[in-house]
């Protein structure tokens, strides 16, 4: 009798052990989150209040984010603007390449995007000018790229190949081959639905569907969130929800480095 009790006991301990291992595995499966925040420009030489409120909130919550810099803004920026960006970088925010002008140039009378439908020379020049400005004005070597409007073509891939410092390409949608590390867009899981308007319920539905992914790159536009107080409140709700889920927040380059053998 005693022997049987002992075996039953051991079996129970083993199954309890198994359950706790499974629980740990589920815990570890939480996705890493990259907050792909777009469109830092200077406003009258200074940082837009939409960015200030977002970064202040993330810092208070010990959450790291990323800053998509439109590099033309460095040409007219003040020292205060440069210092704000440099301070964010030193805190762990990643400053990433979001184009030189974020413009819609005309080619043959037709409106194009900075990195779609423009010439190979134009694209290389814009990528290089932006990279140089960040180095010159901020002392920062940008490591990740995300195109304005997420619009690119085969010339973008060719031009990026000539910028070896750029390692990561977020939201690449052209089929042209590249050796950059890719962080893909999952349209269903995002901060804003539609663009510029955070929506908690839609985010949560997308998150629940894709939470087994290793990494989720979710896009937002902090400058648009001052237009209605509710937009910023919704962004905060999304971040607090993610924290309660036990995710970890990372940046494109940090994630890339962690994936290297």
Measured CA to CA, the distance from residue 190 to residue 184 in angstroms comes to 12
Q: Which structure tokens are listed for 151?
A: 């619009």
Interface with Zn ion (CB under 5 A), residue from 33, 38, 64, 220: 38
* 17 to 36: interface string for Zn ion, x by CB under 5 A: --------------------
Q: Quote the least distance from Cβ 136 to Zn ion, whole Å.
A: 22
Measured CA to CA, the distance from residue 113 to residue 128 in angstroms comes to 17
Residues 124-153 that bind Zn ion (CB under 5 A): 148
**Given the rule CB under 5 A, which of 38-46, 115-123, 129-137, 165-173 is the region that contacts Zn ion?**
38-46
Distances (CA, A) of 176 to 152, 154, 157, 161, 162: 9, 5, 6, 11, 15
Nearer to Zn ion, 34 or 247 (CB): 34
Q: Quote the least distance from Cβ 109 to Zn ion, whole Å.
A: 24
List of residues 6+ apart from 128 with CB closer than 8 A = 162, 163
Closest CA to 69 of 57, 54, 51: 51
Q: Does 50 bind Zn ion (CB under 5 A)?
A: no
Q: Which structure tokens are listed for 147?
A: 């195109």
Task: Determine the size of the site formed for Zn ion (CB under 5 A).
Answer: 3
If phi over 0 gives left and psi between -120 and 50 gives alpha, with beta otherwise, what is residue 109? left
**Given the rule CB under 5 A, which of 37-45, 56-64, 119-127, 168-176 is the region that contacts Zn ion?**
37-45
Q: Quote the least distance from Cβ 71 to Zn ion, whole Å.
A: 12
Q: Quote the least distance from Cβ 38 to Zn ion, whole Å.
A: 4
Nearer to Zn ion, 148 or 220 (CB): 148
Q: Quote the least distance from Cβ 19 to Zn ion, whole Å.
A: 46
Nearer to Zn ion, 58 or 69 (CB): 69
Nearer to Zn ion, 51 or 247 (CB): 51
Q: Quote the least distance from Cβ 43 to Zn ion, whole Å.
A: 15
Compute how many other C-beta atoms are within 10 angstroms of the C-beta atom of residue 114. Answer: 26
Measured CA to CA, the distance from residue 174 to residue 22 in angstroms comes to 39
Q: Quote the least distance from Cβ 12 to Zn ion, whole Å.
A: 57
Nearer to Zn ion, 98 or 247 (CB): 98
Interface with Zn ion (CB under 5 A), residue from 35, 39, 114, 169: 39
Q: Quote the least distance from Cβ 98 to Zn ion, whole Å.
A: 6
Residues that bind Zn ion (CB under 5 A): 38-39, 148
């Amino acid at each position: 009798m005693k022997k049987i009790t002992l075996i039953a006991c051991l079996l129970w301990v083993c199954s309890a052990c198994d359950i706790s291992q499974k629980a740990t595995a589920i815990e570890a499966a939480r996705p890493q989150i990259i907050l792909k925040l777009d469109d830092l420009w200077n406003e009258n030489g200074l940082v837009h209040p939409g960015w200030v409120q977002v970064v202040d909130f993330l810092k208070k919550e010990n959450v790291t984010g990323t800053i998509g810099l439109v590099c033309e803004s460095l040409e007219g920026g003040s020292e205060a603007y440069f210092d704000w960006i440099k301070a964010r970088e030193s805190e762990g925010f990643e400053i990433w390449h979001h184009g030189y002008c974020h413009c819609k140039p005309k080619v043959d009378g037709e409106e194009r995007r900075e990195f779609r439908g423009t010439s190979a020379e134009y694209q290389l020049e814009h990528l290089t000018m932006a990279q140089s400005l960040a180095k010159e004005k901020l002392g920062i070597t940008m490591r990740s790229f995300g195109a304005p409007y997420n619009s690119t073509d085969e010339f973008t891939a060719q031009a990026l190949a000539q910028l070896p410092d750029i390692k990561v390409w977020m939201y690449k949608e052209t089929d042209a081959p590249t050796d950059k590390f890719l962080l893909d867009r999952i349209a269903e899981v995002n901060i804003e639905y539609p663009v510029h308007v955070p929506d908690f319920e839609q985010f949560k539905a997308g998150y629940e569907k894709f939470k087994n992914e290793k990494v989720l790159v979710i896009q937002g536009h902090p400058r648009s969130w001052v237009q209605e107080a509710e937009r910023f409140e919704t962004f905060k709700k999304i971040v607090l929800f993610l924290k309660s889920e036990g995710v970890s927040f990372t940046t494109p380059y940090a994630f890339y480095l962690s994936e290297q053998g």
